[in-house]
Structure 1
Amino acid sequence: MVWIKHLEPNDVDRAVAVAPPDAPAVIFQRTTGSLSQSATVTSSLDEMEAVAGQLFPAWLPGAEGITTSAGGALAAVRSLAIAHAAGTAQYGPFLVDLAVGALAGPGPHTRRHQPEVRALGLARVLAAGFGRPVCALLLRPPDNLDEGGTLALLRAAQWLVDHGRLAVWIGGGSLAPGDWLPEVVVARPIREAPVARSGPATRSSVRSGTPVEERSRRGPPTGRSRRVGRPGKPHPTSPTEVLLETALATRSWAAGRVWNHTVRPGPLVNPVRVDLLWKQERCVVEIDGDDHRAAGKYADDRNRDVMLQLNGFAVLRFTNTQVIHDIENVLALLQQFLANRRRARKGN
């Protein structure tokens, strides 16, 4: 358990850009400052379950394409969950409840199980869903916690470490001083500390199987932060990425693309994680949500764009709204740009 005392909103984004493939999947949660350790643990587990529901079916092999509870879907996911648990360390009844609940809608659906079972099972599911070896929680407490709230938070965090085998980071906030504080590591700012290379965090996301426009209106769940998908593929819980990839998959001119890829623009430049890339054409595509309008995020985006452009990459930015409501225009612009780049390359 680590207290990252000076954590700024963009620090996690910077850490994500240089996170190695074996870094943990980071789940961001805001805590309420409850005076009860049990209530804090339950709230954290419920939010973890909500994220797992968003990720379904990425963590259940064989369930790809099952997006509703209609027909024999529930029986199918029960069977798949039992079979998967039998070949892994997961507890079968818990995994069945989680899979069925992911199709049923908002939960929680696994509270009948002991908190220890939920913590360990959810940590494994979230790591698998993001294709990462482990999972970490980044807890953001409210400012100026009093002594009771601080003690409850620290006890809950230690419980999650012990029973979920999670790394737990407490980011920012102002913890009340007390005899327990020496047990908490007070780290340097994340941009300077080794923990800065731990990631990735996740994009605000929505559960599979709902219309794209409906999912877009819902906004980010409370337990999520910035996303990073599996290298080479669109993020399974980003409706915008999935929608665009579905359209690109039918276009022959879109060959050569790769999603969520890390590029190093130049020998003296830090690596950058981009949403979509055509390597040969040196074309970067970024898909921006509402968070990119914030002043700090906007400035970071412009700095990234300039750095990429100075090293020969073109950067095309589209908003979620453009992709969702005007995808044909987005496709036409991409096709035109790639065609121009390919003609220029052949001419050289």
Structure 2
Amino acid sequence: MTTGVRWWAEPPPGRTSYLADVDPDLLSVGLDPLPAGAPAVVRFHPAAGRTVAQYVGAFLDALDRAAVELFPRWLPGAERLDGRSELGLAAARALAGRLAAQSEHFGPFLADTADRALRGAPAAPGRFPAEVRARGLGSILASAYSRFAAAVLIDLPAELTPDDERALVGAAEWLAGHGRFTVWLAGPALRFVDRIPTVRITLPVYLKDLAAGPALSPAAAEPPPALLTWPPLAGLPRADSPAEQALERALAPHDWAAGRCWNHEFDWHLLAKTYRLDLFWPADGVVVEVDGDDHRSRWKYADDRRRDVQLQLLGHDVLRFTNEQVLHDPTAAALTIRDLLQLRRSSHSPK
């Protein structure tokens, strides 16, 4: 995407900043897909009423689960290792040691995380200090997306008490200081802590246009977001999406489903925003979107409508399923996709 605006570079890297006058949901649209040159960004949705240590612990535990699900993308050479055999586990530890020797990764932590990812084992409490976990998980996140650094976008809950705000800001500063994360606080203005620098970022044109458009919203109320969300990996269904995983299992046995691309980055114009398509058949011009709860937010919902119109103008057909539809009957979703593919193929007009 070539927009001329690198808003993510305006807040100082490796520090905590408050992003003024911008909705975190709007920023989330701008981060999907991750822009070229941006850090690997995860989004943290904390609840009120926790201490600094509890905020840090909740974030690190959630990021640890993300690191396990992103494996083996962050450990080159581990794609075909078998976690059921001692040989596979030993090979993973050896690969981790080799990578650590050539990078800033901490070898023992990297090897332990690879071992647990292969075995499907949870983190052992107290095995590594929080500082080591923060630094190690930040490095793993950056490596998984081939980015230079990691960042976290923290949604500030509404109406924080003075103690809540101080604790959440303290946790953000801890993550920047010990984990080397770039931390962005967004949402309601800080009222009780004044040491955090305020940054007014320059939004790209497409985000300004989206924000200035009509306030579209779905009929259903917005559900509470997941604690931590992270970007999908190109070429694979989302590891944190049971619906995408179920749909892939329903499609995999069928020859007619060949040619599909999961989480494909689609550049449709040199100066326009890149689209990330959940599921795409490039030869047939068929796009399938599997909508999770985040698609019910105001800006995501409005952006989806714009995307669908633009994709249709480009000659593509777009199917949308909710997570609930896919999980209720993945076979029915797959057969609907089959019918559309056959219709496109029989018309001899693939796009």
- Describe the superposition over 1:63-115 as per-residue Cα deviations: whole angstroms up to 9, x where unpaired: 43668667766555444434443443322221233234445667443633233
2:262 equivalent in structure 1: 259
Q: Decide which of 144, 160, 163 is 2:175's aligned counterpart.
A: 160
Secondary structure at 1:229 match in 2? coil
In structure 2, the residue matched to 1:224 is: 228
Separation in structure 2 between the aligned mates of residue 268 and residue 179 of structure 1, nearest angstrom:
38
Report SS of the residue matched to 1:318: strand
Deviation of 1:286 after TM superposition, in Å, equals 0.5
Mapped contact 1:30–1:139 kept (Cα < 8 A): yes
Contact 2:38–2:147 (CA under 8 A) maintained in structure 1:
yes
Show the counterpart of 1:31. 46
Taking the aligned partners of 1:259 and 1:343, their CA distance within structure 2 comes to: 24
* Distance across 1 between alignment mates of 2:296 and 2:226: 19
- Paired positions, count: 322
For the residues of structure 2 that align with 1:41 and 1:237, how far apart are their CA atoms? 21
User: What is the identity, as a one-letter code, of the residue corresponding to 1:44?
Assistant: F
**Alignment equivalent of 2:134, drawn from 95, 119, 124:** 119
Say which is worse superposed, 269-278 or 98-107, in terms of deviation.
98-107
Structure 2 match to 1:333:
336
- The residue number in structure 2 matching 1:187 is 199
Aligned position for 2:110: 95
Structure 2 unmatched ranges of 5 or more? 1-15, 209-222
Find the aligned partners of 2:145 and 2:271 in 1 and give their Cα distance.
Answer: 30
The answer to whether the 8 A contact 1:146-1:175 is kept is no
The aligned runs of 1:44-123 (5 Å cut-off) are: 44-64=59-79, 74-75=89-90, 77-102=92-117, 107-109=122-124, 111-123=126-138
Computed over aligned residues only, the root mean square deviation of the Cα atoms, in angstroms, reads 3.9
TM-score when scaled to structure 2?
A: 0.73
**2:279 alignment counterpart:** 276
Partner of 1:4: 19
Residue identity over aligned pairs, in percent, reads 39
Aligned to 1:302: 305
Could you tell which deviates more after superposition, 119-128 or 73-82? 73-82
- Tell me, in whole angstroms, the C-alpha distance in 1 between the residues paired with 2:287 and 2:314: 12
Determine the C-alpha separation between the residues in 2 that align with 1:298 and 1:347. 28
1:289 aligned partner: 292
> Match for 1:5: what amino acid?
A
Whichever residue aligns with residue 228 of structure 2, its letter is: R
Q: Shift in Å at residue 337 of structure 1?
A: 1.8
> Which one of 307, 312, 315 corresponds to residue 315 of structure 2?
312
Mapped to 2, the partners of 1:195 and 1:165 lie a distance apart of: 28
Aligned residue for 1:342, secondary structure, equals helix
2:190 pairs, out of 175, 183, 196, with 175
| Deviations 1:197-225, CA, capped at 9 Å, x for gaps | xxxxxxxxxxxxxxxxxxxxxx9995423
Out of 138-147 and 311-320, give the one that drifted further. 138-147
Unaligned runs of 5+ in 1: 197-218
The one-letter code matched in structure 2 to 1:224 is L
Residues 43 and 319 of structure 1: CA distance in aligned 2, closer, same or farther (over 3 Å): closer
Q: What is the Cα deviation at residue 2 of structure 1?
A: 1.7
**CA distance in structure 2 between the aligned counterparts of 1:332 and 1:93, rounded to whole angstroms:** 47
Deviation (angstroms), 1:169: 0.5
Q: Show the counterpart of 1:208.
A: none
Give the TM-score normalised by structure 1: 0.74
Contact 1:288–1:317, Cα closer than 8 Å, also in 2: yes
Asked if structure 2 preserves the Cα contact closer than 8 Å seen for 1:97 and 1:110, the reply is no
Aligned to 2:244: 241
**CA shift at 1:287, angstroms?**
1.0
Corresponding residue for residue 30 of structure 2: 15
Once the two structures are TM-superposed, the CA of residue 147 in structure 1 deviates from its matched residue by: 4.2
Classify 1:289/1:166 alpha carbon distance in 2 versus 1 (closer, same or farther; 3 Å): same
Q: 2:347 aligned to 324, 339, 344, which one?
A: 344
Q: CA deviation at 1:177?
A: 3.8
C-alpha contact 1:130 1:229 (8 A) present in aligned 2? no
Specify the SS of the correspondent of 2:109: helix
